[in-house]
């Protein structure tokens, strides 16, 4: 059977990770989160980063044990050897990928409509079709586009940091209109701006020396995006009143407008188009690689057809096509937010299973060769994995109670 082409080094893997995590989430979620917690949004970013890092460490160690495209599916399978758990993991990640692609494609249409009067659904469908084509053409082209668009995306955040840096001293970081509960609530919202780190592992079979490169990429991606997020949050509350941010549908454009004038708002709106396009592309890539990996495993919950690789492009063309087509129906939903919320809830369940897989493998198969080992251990017990399970369960309970 043909294999995927290994063309990604540490730099490319980190850029993919940063692109996955930054995504389009920060361009939309900042306003809602700030409206909940005010100036203490910086604390919420740090808390969300801590929670993401706990599960990220489990992904890093497991990726060094099983550097395969099916990612968390194989981790859960190897740890528990139960069809039901591994199937839930695979289906949960597939569901999350196509729903998120649809939601971000619609967001692209929304940003574009501020420049040109266009129908949202056809434009979203066209974007999915184009990114599916790029995904099929090959990982080399996808990587070049990803690097360029991620650079533009980071530049947008750098603009926010730049225009706000002179006003950082005026930010009231202790301001929490809803108290500690508001800080936690905002962290819950912001946490979903970090979720892309779990998809980095799906690139394992296209990465050189994946047992060490992928773990490093996960940790570096979380670290880089945390620094950007914290400085962006600081700049936002330093320039714009937290209540105004809370009511804004395009909070970063509002911050740019206040700090740089109408030109700033226009520039940030244009950058958001690159951000949303990049997010859809990366989601299509990581989700199709997950499907490819699961389909070629001996247990495949997905048919073996989707493990086939195109003879000349060396990409999993059937998996790519299915992910693209499966994304389209969700574009037609009127309330994509509800479905996306359920997808996020599913992914939190997956994170619980991944942390549990690490704990189980530490005791069941302690002699497996690891390219990375999560820190803070008591014997074979990973304290970060235990904390990861508890934090994800806490977010699940919080989500259910506040839904």
How much of the chain exceeds pLDDT 70, in percent? Answer: 95
Instruction: Convert the pLDDT of each residue in 347-367 to its tens digit.
Output: 888 999 999 999 999 999 999
pLDDT for the residue numbered 164: 95
Coil, strand or helix at 207: strand
pLDDT for the residue numbered 104: 84
> Which residues neighbour 141 within 8 Å (Cβ) at sequence distance 6 or greater?
134
pLDDT for the residue numbered 311: 87
Mean pLDDT score of the chain: 89
pLDDT for the residue numbered 38: 94
Q: Say how many C-beta atoms besides its own lie within 10 A of residue 79's C-beta.
A: 22
DSSP class of 249: S
Coil, strand or helix at 176: coil
Please report, to the nearest 10 degrees, the dihedral formed by the alpha carbons of residues 76, 77, 80, 84 taken in order. 90
Q: Is the pTM of this model over 0.75?
A: yes
Q: Categorize the per-residue pLDDT at 2 as very low, low, confident or very high, splitting at 50, 70 and 90.
A: low
Instruction: Convert the pLDDT of each residue in 28-52 to its tens digit.
Output: 678 888 999 999 999 999 999 999 9
**Helix ranges (DSSP H) in 192-241:** 210-239
Segment 331-356 shows an average pLDDT of: 78
């Amino acid at each position: 059977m043909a294999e995927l082409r290994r063309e990604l080094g540490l730099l490319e893997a980190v850029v993919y990770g940063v692109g996955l995590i930054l995504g389009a989430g920060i361009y939309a979620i900042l306003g809602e989160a700030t409206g909940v917690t005010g100036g203490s949004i910086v604390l919420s970013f740090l808390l969300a980063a801590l929670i993401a890092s706990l599960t990220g460490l489990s992904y890093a160690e497991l990726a060094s044990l099983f550097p395969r495209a099916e990612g968390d599916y194989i981790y859960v399978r190897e740890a528990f050897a139960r069809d039901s758990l591994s199937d839930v993991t695979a289906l949960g990640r597939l569901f999350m990928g196509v729903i998120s692609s649809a939601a971000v494609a619609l967001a692209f249409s929304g940003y574009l409509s501020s420049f040109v009067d266009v129908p949202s659904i056809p434009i979203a469908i066209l974007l999915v079709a184009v990114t599916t084509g790029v995904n099929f053409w090959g990982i080399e082209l996808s990587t070049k586009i990803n690097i360029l668009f991620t650079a533009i995306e980071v530049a947008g955040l750098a603009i926010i940091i730049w225009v706000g840096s002179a006003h950082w001293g005026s930010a009231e970081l202790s301001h929490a209109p809803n108290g500690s509960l508001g800080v936690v609530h905002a962290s819950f919202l912001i946490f979903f701006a970090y979720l892309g780190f779990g998809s980095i592992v799906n690139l394992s079979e296209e990465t050189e020396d994946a047992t060490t490169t992928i773990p490093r990429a996960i940790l570096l991606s979380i670290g880089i995006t945390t620094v950007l997020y914290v400085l962006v949050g600081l700049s936002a509350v330093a320039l714009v009143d937290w209540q105004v941010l809370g009511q804004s549908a395009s909070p970063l454009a509002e911050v740019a407008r206040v700090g740089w004038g109408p030109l700033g708002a226009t520039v940030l709106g244009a950058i958001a188009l690159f951000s949303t396009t990049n997010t859809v592309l990366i989601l299509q890539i990581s989700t199709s690689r997950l499907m490819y990996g699961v389909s070629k495993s001996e247990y495949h919950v997905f048919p073996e057809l989707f493990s086939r690789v195109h003879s000349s492009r060396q990409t999993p063309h059937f998996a790519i096509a299915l992910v693209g087509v499966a994304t389209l129906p969700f574009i037609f939903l009127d309330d994509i937010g509800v479905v996306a919320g359920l997808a996020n809830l599913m992914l939190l369940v997956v994170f619980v299973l991944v942390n549990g897989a690490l704990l189980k493998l530490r005791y069941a198969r302690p002699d497996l060769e690891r390219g990375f080992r999560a820190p803070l251990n008591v014997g074979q017990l990973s304290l970060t994995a235990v904390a990861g399970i508890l934090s994800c369960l806490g977010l699940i309970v919080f989500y259910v109670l506040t839904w």
